[in-house]
Structure formats: structure tokens, C-alpha cells
Amino acid sequence: MTRHQASLRHLLAAAMIATLMIGAAALPARADDAAMNESQIIHRLLPTVVNIHVQKVEAVTPPTAAAATVDAPATDSAKLASEGATTIKGYVGSGFIIDPSGLIVTNYHVVDGAYLIVVTLSDGTRLEGTVTSASKLADLALVQVKADHPLPAAHWGDSDTLQVGDQVFAAGNPFGLGLTVTGGIVSALNRNIMNSPYDDLIQTDATLNHGNSGGPLFDMQGNVIGVDSTIISPTTGSVGLGFAIPSNSAHFVVDQLRTYGWVHPGWIGVKVQTMTDEIAAAMGLAQSEGSVVSWVLSGGPAMKAGLQVRDVILQFDGRTPSDERALLRAIAHTSAGVATSIVVLRDGKRLTLPLTVDAWPRNQWEALDAPAPILRPNNPVPPHLGLTLAPILPADKTKLGLVDDLKGVQVTNVVKDSDPATRGMTAGDVILRVQDKPVTTPAEVWAGVDAVRAEKRDFVMMLIYPKVRTVPGPEWVALRLVAKDKIASGG
């Protein structure tokens, strides 16, 4: 190797070392820039977040989600005592400003039953708040405060673009300690925790504690992509899972509340259930897809379109909902008067039915409660399924609470731990149909069951008008006809 070659080699080596050193020095700088950008975003957004303190009469059931209890000041207790009450408690929650006029979004359960609402801004200013409108089912409420200047407002993001693993941060008032920020990722999407028929929650590992309810879940661009609302914990503490209402659902509800004062959802007059593997087996279907119709309201849009009980809804407005919750959300988000179509499976054939969406009758919407119960694991039962049946006499109709001239067979006893018992059936229920056939006598019920057994199906479908109704109307139940071990062994 010549001296010139050696010198050139040394120069190249030095250049490589210098490049590596420059690269190594640049990495911390990029991390610092990212951290600075995140802190700047958070600093810019904190003025949009508020702490909420409310006073409630002790008799009001405390919130079950992320709201904390604090002792009420003696002056507040004395005030309400003079008005006839004796015991007062304070609760804390969170919220965020969506309009410079001082309009704030929070959870319904934070302000439910409150006689006094105090909102604390990020600069420490305390303002009295008033609930302008709310939705119990959506667990959202609007609170108005009056400030002497426009307030900074947060911006809605698009929760449909979220993916598991995306970074997010939550801001709120945990334990009433004041404005606090926690960070994490999106842990899961479309979670159903049985809070409503429309559950589509974001699960996050950004720490949520009691008092975070109603606070915003931000993405890293500073947009609100969720409303922190619920904690599921195995203890009375906050160690557990945190959930937020997706921004697209919350934004829809908030717009409806601002426009109408209530949610004013689209409505077609139908009750649907999840198509479970058991129900699919009872219907002779190869796959458990779509949502099965358990009730069609007389005179409603669905009945006018020709929808029938036992139809399986596959598509609505050209879209294929992932489950019955997605179907209900799609219907609710459709404006009244919109002409669309619905695709159903009936007797093995796909049908497309023209449909015009109507506005949900307000009195029925406000009475809406919980979704149909999910079918639970069960035990083998004898041939009579663990049911004792009797015909319905005229004198029984009032006792059974029958409406709309419903006809069926009453259940007078359910064997403890039987399959019907584990699925929620009880004495006082009324069986309206077995598979697709209406029944009015016990003999017709057992004939329908025997016919399904003859087809060698594992489950039989019954349309039940339950004694205990969390939601108006009947619901489908699939009852097991063979023992679990026989199914597992293929016998």
C-alpha cells in the first residue's frame, strides 16, 4: 500500500467516524424536538379543558363510572338543609369547551341530579354552570357557563381513522386534584361494555381515574377523538381499563342536542339482536352474520318496507354493519325523510327492500333503556327444556302485561339451572313463536320443538315476550336441544 493510498484510507475512515458521530448527536436532538412539540401541543390544549364540581342530594344514586366523591362544604350542606334536605355530597368530573361562548361537553353521569355545578377553568376562574341539554343513553351533557371573554375551544377529530397503537393523551380532573394529563395508546376499538345498545368505545391505557369522566381524549395532532367516560376495575379503585366515547358518535349527539335539545335519531321501528352461532344454527344458516329481527312495530317504516320478524338484516344504506350495534348507529345517524334501502336474508334468499327513515318518536326514545341480553353459557336440559307451559286465558292477559293483542303460551315454571333459566327466562314469560310459526297452545310449542329436533338442529328459536322487560317488545332466545358434550364430540 502506497503512502497516498494509506492517507486516503485514513481520510475515508475519519469521514465515516465523523458521520457516525454527527448521526449519533442528531438522534437526541430529534427526540427533544418531538418532546417539545408534544409539550407545546398539550400546553396549547389545556385551556380548553375544565374541571367540574357538582353538589347532589345524597339520595341520588352516585355515578358508577369515572366520577369521584368528595365531602361537601358545610355551607352547602346548610343551604340545602334549609330547603328541606339534610345530607349533601360533592362529586367531581371533567369537561372540555367546544364553543367560545362557554359551551362545555361532559358526561351525563357527572351532572345527573346536580343542584349546583361549578366549572373551574385552566386559569383558576370559577364559573357556575347550567345544563342546557343531555342524553342519558349516550352519557353526554352540555353545560353552559358565562365568561366575560371568549373561551378557547377544542376541535373534534375523526375517530374513524384511529388505529390500535395510536398515541393519545387524556386531560381531566382525577380525584378532584386539578388539571392532569396522562398519555398512552389506543388499546382497542369498538368495545362493547353493555352500557347502551350503541356501545362503540375506545379502550386506552392512558390512565383514567375517578374524576376524569367527561374529559377529552386527544390525538397527537391536538384533536378530540374521544370523551373519557368509563372505568372497568376489579376493585373499588381505579386500577383497570379506561374507555372513551368515540368523537364521531359524541359529535353527532352534541350536534343533535344543540339543534333539537334531544338526540332526535333516525328510526325505522324495528328491534334487532345479535346473530349468534346458536341462533344461526336454529335457523339452519351456515354463518352467523347480520342482525336478526325480533320485532317490527305496526305502522313503522320497517313494516311499510315489508320487513318481517325473523328476517336477517345484512346491509343498510349500502353498508354492511359489523354487528347489531353498528346497524343501530347507522339507522340513528340517518336523517328523517332519507330514502334508502335495506338488504335482508329471508328463507335463504336475499331481498332488497326500499325504506324511508323516519324520526324516532321522542317519548319512545326517552324510554329506551338497555339492549337485548346476550345469550350466556348453559347446561344440558331434559326433553321438556325445563319449561312448564299453560294456555293464556282472558283473565291472564292483564297479569302478563300483554299488549297489541299479542297471543302466545305462558311459561308457568322454569327449572332452576336449566338452559332457559340461564338465558333469563322466568315464570310469566310468554312464548309467541317457535321458529317461524306463531303458537297459542303448549302442544303447538312442543310440536315446533320436535320438528326442529327432527331436523337434527342443536338449537330451537323462540320469540319471547319477557315478564321483565328492559326494552319494550319481544326478543328471540335460542334454546339448546342437545347436551354440550354431544356437540363437542360430534354426536
Instruction: Out of 77, 159, 196, 213, pick the active-site residue.
Output: 213
User: What pLDDT is recorded for position 115?
Assistant: 75
Residue 144 domain flag: yes
Residue 161 dihedral angles phi and psi, to the nearest 5°: -90, -5
Strand partners, 413: 388
Query: Does any domain span residue 87?
Result: yes
What pLDDT score was predicted for residue 211?
A: 83
| pLDDT given at position 87 | 52
- Is 139 annotated as catalytic? yes
Separation CA 425–CA 396 (nearest Å): 18
Q: In the prediction, which pLDDT does 345 show? A: 93
What span, in angstroms and rounded, lies between the C-alpha atoms of 411 and 348?
A: 31
In the block, cell 388499546 appears at 187
**Residue 379 maps to a domain:** no
Residues 167, 53 share a domain: yes
Q: Which of 112, 139, 199, 323 is catalytic?
A: 139
Q: Which amino acid is at 208?
A: L
> Closest Cα partner for 357 from 271, 293, 266?
266
Residues 63 and 212 in one domain: yes
- In the annotation, is 210 catalytic? no
Residue 170 belongs to a domain: yes
**Does residue 74 sit in the same domain as residue 186?**
yes
In a domain, 23, yes or no: no
Task: Give burial (CB, 10 Å; 0-12/13-18/19+) of 318.
Answer: exposed
| Domain enclosing residue 273, as ranges | 266-367
Conformational region of residue 291, where left means phi above 0, alpha means psi within -120 to 50, and beta covers everything else: beta
Local structure of 76: helix, strand or coil: helix
The C-alpha cell 465523523 sits at 18
Spatial contact of 212 and 66, defined as CB atoms under 8 Å apart: yes
The CATH number linked to 283 is 2.30.42.10
Alpha-carbon span 181 to 123, nearest angstrom: 16
213 in Cβ contact with 94 (< 8 Å) = yes
- Which of 337, 367, 397 is a domain's end point? 367
User: Do 331 and 422 fall within a single domain?
Assistant: no
* Cα distance between residue 200 and residue 196, in whole Å: 9
Same domain, 341 and 452: no
Cβ-count burial 7-37 (b if 16+ within 10 Å, e if not): eeeeeeeeeeeeeeeeeeeeeeeeeeeeeee
Grid coordinates representing 408 are: 302466545
The total domain count for the chain is: 3
Of 334, 367, 400, the residue at which a domain comes to its end is 367
Give yes or no: residues 95 and 161 share one domain. Answer: yes
- Picking from 367, 401, 421, the residue at the C-terminal end of a domain is 367
- In this prediction, residue 311 carries a pLDDT of 92
| pTM of structure | 0.61
CA dihedral 321, 323, 326, 327 (to 10 degrees): 70
Quick one: pLDDT at residue 224?
Answer: 95
- The C-alpha angle 169, 90, 105, rounded to 5 degrees, equals 40
Closest CA to 409 of 441, 450, 386, 434: 441
Residue carrying C-alpha cell 494509506: 6
Average pLDDT across each block of 10 residues of the chain; the chain has 491 residues. List them in order: 46 40 39 63 90 70 43 41 50 94 94 85 90 87 93 93 90 83 86 64 84 91 91 62 90 89 84 89 88 90 92 90 84 87 91 90 59 32 73 80 79 82 87 93 91 89 87 88 44 32
Q: Residues with Cβ < 8 Å from 215, sequence gap 6 or more?
A: 49, 93, 94, 95, 96, 170, 171, 172, 173, 227, 228
191 and 159, same structural domain?
Answer: yes
What does the pLDDT read at residue 216?
Answer: 94
Whether 439 maps to a domain, the answer reads yes
Q: Determine the residue type at 345.
A: L
Annotated catalytic, 213? yes
User: 397 with 360, same domain?
Assistant: no
Angle value at C-alpha 234, between 229 and 236, nearest 5 degrees: 70
Amino acid identity, position 104: I
Q: Does one domain contain both 121 and 235?
A: yes
Catalytic choice (53, 77, 94, 109): 109
Q: Is residue 36 part of a domain?
A: no
Do residues 178 and 212 make contact, with C-beta atoms less than 8 angstroms apart?
no
Q: What residue has cell string 315478564?
A: 467
Looking at the structure, do residues 186 and 333 belong to the same domain, yes or no? no
Q: What does the block give as the cell for 451? A: 320438528
- Reading the block at residue 349, the C-alpha cell is 334468499
358, 223: one domain: no
C-alpha cell at 126: 370559577
How far is the C-alpha of 232 from the C-alpha of 199, rounded, in Å?
14
334 and 449 inside one domain: no
CATH of residue 104's domain is: 2.40.10.120
Grid coordinates representing 221? Answer: 395532532
Q: Which of 95, 220, 72, 211 is nearest to 145 (CA)?
A: 95
Q: How far apart are CA 235 and CA 114, in angstroms?
A: 26
- pLDDT tens by residue, 242-280: 889 999 989 999 998 898 887 878 889 898 988 888 999
Structural domain includes residue 260: no
